Structure 1
Amino acid sequence: MNNELNALSDKTLEKLISHKMIDLFIRVGLIGFLVVRCYQIFKPFIGLILWSVILAVAMYPLHAMIARKMGGRDGRAATTLVLAILLSVLIPSTLLVFSFADSTTGLVKQVQNGTLQVPIPNESVAGWPVVGGKLYALWSAAHTDLGSVVAKYEPKIAIVTKQLLGYAASAGTSILMFLVALVLAGIWMAYGESGHAAAKAIAKRMAGDEKGETLVALSTATIRAVAQGVIGIACVQALLLGAGFILVGIPAAGIWALLVLLLGIMQIPAALVSLPSIIYVFYTNDSTPVAVMFAVYTMVAGSADNILKPLVLGRGVDAPMPVILLGALGGMATGGIIGLFLGSVLLALGYQLFMAWVYHENEEANSGEKAG
């Protein structure tokens, strides 16, 4: 009798476990299906949302200051800040983007048509170590018969020109994305307190109460450090120098401005671009006063980072410069111009969170050894 009861109870337990397993698989499957579908729907907007959140976090201290002067009206403060940025940044940014697109497209067409005029090289180039001889021979061949050089290196040139055209096409798209992201950032800033509370609630749910607070604080500090102290100042410097390049008529002004932006993110002095531009203007411009004014303006704009960094954040950020550089280059390779900014911020944030986790684990291990 007991054996029959035990067998019956075992069968009942097996049925119960099997029903629970089936219910679990169904729930997991439904949740997985919902997550995948939500990701597919949200995927086209991920970059835009991330960019708007980064802008909102970086600009929120300025928004809070404006809101205090307006009597705590967050909506009006956000609208005022967004309009001010649009008026002060949109016009020069648009000019630089169009200049970059025109310069890149024109350069590619000249290379493809064989109409690009290459100046004769200086004989001193041949004396450069390692690469001098080959570079002088290639340069001379390009000056004499550019078509043959283009035909010889056509596969490599095709790859480069395709990338340049892709960057030129993405420049206009990046401006539109920036405008939309700026408007969204204004909305996030208008509801900044509730958004911050939601971020803390999510972080606490993921990492616990104490670690959640630290996670949100570290993420906020890293985003502001990279966005304001590195990217923001690099953008200002690129806009200032790019505007000067356009006014004096330097060829491919947008490309040189983009190079200044990259150098600024790499924490390399903009003098690598500004000094050759000054020499070029002195040699090509007929008006000496214009050349002198351009030289003074370029020297001041080129050293703007030395003035702005101490005012904004002081020297340097917590994330190493190689991490920011890799993020910028990798982001640009995968996401175009807009990826240049997103990549540096996100990789720096990931690095900071990872290192915080490493140091926290080491501290817990050391405290456990001391207690033992």
Structure 2
Amino acid sequence: MGSFPPLKNDLMVRAAWGQKVERPPMWVMRQAGRYLPEYHQAKGNRDFFECCRDPEVASTLTLQPIERYAGLVDAAIIFSDILVIPQAMGMVVEMVDKKGPHFPSPLLNPKDGQYAELIGRDVDVSKELDYVYRAITLTRKKLDGRVPLIGFCGAPWTLFCYMVGNSKLSKECKTWIYKYPKETKALLQKIAELCVDYLALQVKAGAQLIQVFESSGGELSPSSFKEFSGPYLAYIAKHLPLKLKELGLDRVPMIVFPKGAWYALDACCDMGYNVVGLDWLHDPAQAVKIVGDRPVVLQGNADPGILYGSRESITKLVGNMVEGFGWASRKQGWIVNLGHGITPFVDPEDLKFYFQEVHRLTKTE
């Protein structure tokens, strides 16, 4: 890994460990992305996954919001994609312009030869995803300690949904869990083990926090979440620290983001993650009550659509969050974020105003 410059702004790390801090740290999901004009310039005519695989390009894109919002944003998140794990497992993933990711040969059923291949394949994430680790190391160096760097992966259930070719109706993933539960769980376990290895190697390369994206959490009913998501999220939270120890590395704060699974907040607080991300369907004050006296930090949770709104609406929403998360009295337990990633066509100046309002409304007199 080599040595990196010392961290000048460790607010995000301290807050994620649950410490009292002078103001809530903030970053946003998809902050390095297509809403920025400089993103399109740096991306050029490269395919999305080409950008992920080129450490120089990936690090440039990761740094763009840090440079644009200098002094306002408290963490960088490596420019990559959750679907690099299915790619490492041997599946083909294409990024279709204006439509998103597409699996030309999804998993059809357990008798599909591809399923047996995936279950039986010995996947070496250290080799297959080397480009991610190189991008992380390069980005850490370029950051020069300005803010910490977040590494991430997709959660097993979310990756599984993509791998079976999930459509809007969730027909494919629902068929699997209700018709082939045993085979589904075998694949989820395999993915969970790969996630642990992948995240540990990201930390070795220089990631200072990690986030697990359970973006398809809301596809599951409460009972199905307990069966097909929760156990695999808990597996990652339990085994990542063990893997880091095995590699001679210190623990890092772990964040889980179970989008849409509002009913699972209580369970997620007991999984072993330091931070639980909230989407915009949560009421902050209610979420704080659910956490209770457990040492769990909440992250979120502005509706990303607020960035299409008026400045007055942004100010009002930020004020509601500051009050709902009890910032004035607690001074801990909250990392500011949106309730999901930035959506397209957002004016970067409106995001800047959002950041400035958080600063203004949370600064200690």
TM-score normalised by structure 2 residue count: 0.27
More strand by share: 2
Greater RCO, 1 or 2 (C-alpha within 8 Å, sep 6+): 2
